[in-house]
Amino acid sequence: MSQTTVSAALESAKLQLTDNDSLTFSEPALEARLLFEHISGHGHTWQIVHADDYLTQAQHLAFDAVLKERLAGKPIAFITGKQAFWTLELAVSPCTLIPRQDTETLVEVCLSADMPAHAKVLDLGTGTGAIALSLAKERPQWQVVGVDAIDEAVELARNNATANGLKAHFLKSDWFNALAHQQFDMIVSNPPYVESNSRYLQQGDLRFEPHTALVSGEDGLEDIRFIIQHAPSYLHNDGWLLFEHGKDQADSIADLLKARGFVQIQHKKDYNDLTRVSFAKWQNT
């Protein structure tokens, strides 16, 4: 096996990611650096300083292996086992969705809501715990509860809380079924909202993520309908309900919220200027 320098290996990986015929990688140079950091433990600064160093045989083999996985479409977060979200670094696994930057819009809306100082907040379908832990980080006085129907996801969220030194409570619950007689000042969710026949399910990272966390009936609104119908039983008066949803679903969700009796229905665009978050207040009059 011929010797290869760090810079040459990174350049070769970047070119392979750039010239791939079947998949498009938006940041090939960054992905090459992240893959090398994963197998070597050396970050970007080290890679620059040691650009002319030669890879060991073990590094060469490991780098080729992870590059092959990425070229096959495996999400880089599932290769490295981690994903940055908000100000956190979260462990990820194929049992749940990879946290995405667009979901930070949902966190921002939660943080901007008028809430009691010691608010009780519920994150439905918490997955990695991304939303719950971001809120716990910014509002340590809040009582944050995250639930998920998948045992592995609950354990993952708990581990992420520990790793980031944050206080939040996670438990197994299929939506509300383990929360009898509990009420919250805010219920937030990034639920499944993809249509069952969506072509996007066969594209990009979605091919590797659990479809149970993505698909919600023929119109993508099955779970959102359920949450809207049942959420008032778990909300204090003047409590907030917030969703992330598909870019074309805001009007339908507004109709569902209005029909259930929610007020002050509002929407928020994400970083790509797409309407991605809807929220409303429950007033039990």
Q: Per residue in 197-234, pLDDT tens?
A: 666 656 666 677 676 766 667 787 999 999 999 999 99
Question: Within a 10 A sphere around the Cβ of 117, how many other Cβ atoms?
Answer: 7
Question: Within a 10 A sphere around the Cβ of 143, how many other Cβ atoms?
Answer: 16
Give yes or no for a contact between 34 and 80, defined as CB atoms under 8 angstroms apart.
yes
Cα gap 244→246, rounded to integer Å: 7
Show the tokens assigned to 54: 């030669």
**Bridge partners (DSSP) listed for residue 280:** 241
Residues 6 or more apart from 219 whose CB is under 8 A from it? 195, 252
**Greater confidence, 275 or 210?**
275
Least confident of 71-80, 206-215, 261-270: 206-215
Query: DSSP assignment, residue 180?
Result: T
Decide: helix, strand or coil at residue 207.
helix
Q: What is the pLDDT of residue 87?
A: 95
Q: What is the pLDDT of residue 207?
A: 72
Cα gap 277→268, rounded to integer Å: 5
Q: What is the pLDDT of residue 26?
A: 82
Please compute the mean of the pLDDT values over residues 140-161 and round it to a whole number: 97
Q: What is the pLDDT of residue 198?
A: 66
Q: Per residue in 16-48, pLDDT tens?
A: 999 877 777 888 999 999 999 999 999 999 999
Give yes or no for a contact between 103 and 190, defined as CB atoms under 8 angstroms apart.
yes
Question: Per-residue confidence at 285, pLDDT binned at 50, 70, 90?
Answer: low
Question: Within a 10 A sphere around the Cβ of 244, how many other Cβ atoms?
Answer: 24
Task: For the chain, list the domains and their CATH numbers.
Answer: 6-73 (1.10.8.10), 82-282 (3.40.50.150)
φ, ψ (nearest 5 deg) of residue 163:
-65, -30
% pLDDT > 70, the chain: 92
pTM given for the model:
0.91
Helix (H) or strand (E) holding 244: strand 235-244
